[in-house]
Amino acid sequence: VQFHPEVTHTRQGMRMLERFVRDICQCEALWTPAKIIDDAVARIREQVGDDKVILGLSGGVDSSVTAMLLHRAIGKNLTCVFVDNGLLRLNEAEQVLDMFGDHFGLNIVHVPAEDRFLSALAGENDPEAKRKIIGRVFVEVFDEEALKLEDVKWLAQGTIYPDVIESAASATGKAHVIKSHHNVGGLPKEMKMGLVEPLKELFKDEVRKIGLELGLPYDMLYRHPFPGPGLGVRVLGEVKKEYCDLLRRADAIFIEELRKADLYDKVSQAFTVFLPVRSVGVMGDGRKYDWVVSLRAVETIDFMTAHWAHLPYDF
């Protein structure tokens, strides 16, 4: 085949693949989310036995589903480390702790680290430099917490199959290479851990279906993507607590209004950006001179390229 029937741009591509697999090869569709979960749980138990496992829980889809699979497989032998960097969405830290700690009963170590991250970011304007700072500080915080735990022999990660594909080019003869932005990275040399990646053979849509089967809420699994560095890259220029707090509130209002207008699920991603400039506006009957926030909504399939979403003028 001289084209890619699996990509979304190929019309009838999925029908071609389905006919080849189902009609020509006579394969049966037996691989359900429940079966994938049973298989993953069995493999986790076989791999780690009674050992303890640590996982960096961000509240994102991949780490959340990984946490639920591990919890089902090994229960209290899993410790999740949740680092609150002060760059999350409105009330996100509380939601993660309530859902996974109180509701599902996972063992979670909560690390409030807002001051540490903001101090490290002070004075930095370059977006790539900010990404590296956030990544470095996260590694430092995670390392410190991991060293406090005793007898942890395994590090779990929410690596999914696209990560493995993208990493293949840099393979060095090992079974697989971990992408730096997915890897907790930089773990102290004295911490010799094995790696547990229960989602590494699954695509994002499969991970979401598994999450639903495991009892995670639809709104959490299907919400718009949020960058790893969080608001650190949605605040243009220097990151300050004042800017993050304002942006958090503005973003929550934007998303709330999209949901009210039944538009949230019709756009691929919507978010606000803090611009470090002030502008004159009118609030009520008075003049207002304040910070500017930009609203962005896009449509995309692969999240590699995107075009702006058509929102109604009266939105």
Residue-wise pLDDT for 149-195, tens only, equals 989 999 999 988 877 776 665 554 554 443 344 344 445 555 578 99
pLDDT greater than 50 at residue 9:
yes
109 has binding-site annotation: no
pLDDT at 142 over 60: yes
Question: What is the CATH topology of the domain spanning 240-308?
Answer: GMP Synthetase; Chain A, domain 3 (3.30.300)
SS3 string, the chain, reads: CCCCCCCCCCCCHHHHHHHHHHHHCCCCCCCCHHHHHHHHHHHHHHHHCCCEEEEECCCCHHHHHHHHHHHHHHHHHEEEEEEECCCCCCCHHHHHHHHHHHHCCCCEEEEECHHHHHHHHCCCCCHHHHHHHHHHHHHHHHHHHHHHCCCEEEEECCCCHHHHHHHHHHCCCCCCCCCCCCCCCCCCCCCCCEEECCCCCCCHHHHHHHHHHCCCCHHHHCCCCCCCCHHHHCECCCCCHHHHHHHHHHHHHHHHHHHHCCCHHHCCEEEEEEEEEEEEEEECCEEEEEEEEEEEEEECCCCCCCEECCCCCCC
Q: Looking at 52-66, 125-139, 259-273, 293-307, which range is the least confident one?
A: 293-307
| 167 belongs to an annotated ligand binding site | no
Which fold does the domain 31-219 belong to in CATH?
Answer: Rossmann fold (3.40.50)
75: left (phi over 0), alpha (psi -120 to 50) or beta: left
CATH 3.40.50.620 intervals, the chain: 31-219
- Return left, alpha or beta for 200; rule: phi > 0 is left, psi -120 to 50 is alpha, else beta: alpha
> Is 180 known to sit in a ligand binding site?
no
pLDDT digit string (tens) for 282-310? 888 889 999 999 999 999 876 767 889 99
Write out the two tokens for 268. 């691929």
- Is 245 labelled as part of a ligand binding site? no
**Mean pLDDT for the chain overall:** 89
Q: Is 64 annotated as a binding residue?
A: yes
Instruction: Indicate whether this model's pTM tops 0.85.
Output: no
pLDDT (0 to 100) of residue 177: 41
Q: Is 268 annotated as a binding residue?
A: no
By C-alpha distance, which of 227, 226, 228, 208 is closest to 218?
A: 208
pLDDT tens-place string over residues 204-252: 889 999 999 999 999 999 999 898 899 999 999 999 999 999 999 999 9
Is residue 62 marked as binding?
A: yes
CB 158 within 8 A of CB 174: no
